[in-house]
Structures are given as C-alpha cells and as structure tokens.
Amino acid sequence: MAALAIILSQLPPVVLWFRPKRLEIDVHSRLVVTHKVGNPNLILFLSLRNSGGRRLWIQGVKLDVWRDGTSVGSLPAQYYFVSPASQETILFTPFALSPDETWAHATTFLRWFDRNTEKEYRAAESTLRADIQSKLRERPENDNNPVVAEERLVRPFFDMFQRLNVWEHGEYQLRVSVTVAEMALPFCRNFRFTLFESDVTELKSHTNDYRFGGGLSYNVDRHMGIGVPLVRHDG
C-alpha cells in the first residue's frame, strides 16, 4: 500500500510529461508605434503562457512587419518594463517558463543602429547638444525662449529620418514569433493594424523638435508614440 501511495503521488507530474509543448501568445489590443530619427520602434504588451507539459526555454521574440504585403522589417525584442506603472526597463534575455507559468510585460521591439549609423548619430548629437548649451549660457537670465540649434547641426538628423523611416500610411500585417529551444519552428500569432495619414503626419512631426534637441538630447512625451488598434488576423 505504501508503494502504491508513492506511485500515485507521482502521477500528476508524470501526466505532464505527455502533454505536448504549447505556448499561448496574447497581446494587448493596442500597439504603440514610434521611431528614433526614423528607426522604427514598436511597444507591445505581450503575454506568454506555457500551457504544455514541459519547461520551455524562450530564446527570443520578434515582430515581423509588412505594409500592404511588402516587408518593412523584422524587429526583435530588446527590453521590457518591469511593471505597467514602472519606468524601469530590463534588457530582454532568454528565460525559462515552467508549465502553467506566464510572462507578461510591455516590451519594446527595435533594431539597434548599425555601427556606422550609431557613430554618426553620437557625433551629431554631441555637437548639437554643445551648441544648445553654449547658447543657453549666453542668453540673458530673463530670456526663457527655446534655444534653437544651428540648421547645419540639425540637418544630419533629418537625413537619418529620411533614410531610416518606414512608417507610411497603409494596412500593416504583424507576426509575433517566439523562438523556443529544441523546436525547429517558432510559435507564431498574426495581427494587423492601420496607420492613417494623420498618424504618419504626427510621427513625422517629431522631427520639428530636433532643432531644440527634443528627442535627441532629452525625451519628449509625445515621442513615446501613437497607440493604434491591433486586431487578430488568422488569414
């Protein structure tokens, strides 16, 4: 009887062994679209639940994006917010999900600048910041008007925007792909969203702040992006 009791006590975990690997992917109904001097960024509240019987090792998550059927890029998860109310972010790294465990965070997806663009951006931003700081020191104490950088120093950021920007009005398809260790194919889920001309105009208007250093040397709230409805798309 004692031996039988021991065997029966082990049945639940044994049953889990025969459940296939399964990952449930869920997202919030709105997606945040933004950019850094044109370089596309997406912020998505992503929920991953291990509904299978084995521990899953999540190696990476990416968003593949198409506009009107034409690819506009693949954006990997780079960092996530600790909690919905937190401003603190953590780098996205591989992690394990035990059976019935859920990982749910607002996650930022983007491609880092390549080395040449990063070098170009840092040099231009440093020069622009120095110019603004110099003008701030020279202006009268009672002058609270915004300080505008020299046009030639702002031009590199407009050029970067023109080169890197992908956000144009149209219908977009979005695929969430989660890569799991020891699985040949990722878990995927498809969605769609729309950018209207007014959305694109708002995103392009971020460049108007570059002459003040906004979105470059300091953050601007509206540069956080625009929220657009995200709809499940199984087609």
Q: Looking at the domain assignment, is residue 152 inside a domain?
A: no
**How many domains, in total, are found in the chain?**
1
d(CA 5, CA 28): 45
Q: What CATH number does residue 89 fall under?
A: 2.60.40.10
Nearest to 161 by CA among 58, 55, 40: 40
Whether residue 17 is predicted with pLDDT greater than 80 in this model: the reply is: no
Burial state string for 183-210 with b = 16 or more CB within 10 A and e = fewer than 16: eeebbebebebebeeebbebbeebbebb
DSSP-based three-state secondary structure for 22? coil
Mean local confidence (pLDDT), 152-167: 97
Residue 8 — very low, low, confident or very high, per pLDDT cuts 50/70/90?
Answer: very low
Residue 2 lies in a domain: no
Does the predicted model carry a pTM greater than 0.85? Answer: yes
pLDDT at 149: 95
What's the confidence (pLDDT) of residue 135? Answer: 92
Cα gap 190→195, rounded to integer Å: 17
First to last CA, the chain: 55
pLDDT over 60 (residue 5): no
pLDDT of residue 83: 84
Mean pLDDT of 58-72: 96
* Residue 153 pLDDT: 97
Residue 9: per-residue pLDDT = 55
Note down the domain range covering 58. Answer: 25-112+165-232
Q: Report the b/e string of 96-135 with b at 16+ CB within 10 A.
A: ebebeeebebbbbbbeebeeeeeebbeebbeebbebbeee
- Per the prediction, the chain carries an average pLDDT of 91
Q: What's the confidence (pLDDT) of residue 19?
A: 55
Q: What confidence score (pLDDT) does residue 13 get? A: 53
Say if 102 falls within a structural domain. Answer: yes
pLDDT in tens, 199-232: 999 999 999 999 999 999 899 999 999 999 999 9
- What's the confidence (pLDDT) of residue 143? 80
User: Is residue 127 situated within a structural domain?
Assistant: no
Q: Dihedral through CA 93, CA 78, CA 114, CA 188, nearest 10?
A: 90
7 inside domain:
no
Closest CA to 34 of 231, 220, 233, 232: 220
What is residue 235's predicted lDDT score, i.e. its pLDDT? 59
- Which pLDDT tens digit goes with each residue over 93-139? 999 999 999 999 999 999 999 999 999 999 999 999 999 999 998 88
**pLDDT number for residue 4:** 45
Closest CA to 157 of 127, 197, 114: 127
Q: Residue 15 domain-assigned?
A: no
Do the domain assignments include residue 222?
yes
Domain presence at residue 135: no
> According to the model, what pLDDT value does residue 18 have?
46
Nearest CA to 108 out of 41, 155, 60 is that of 41
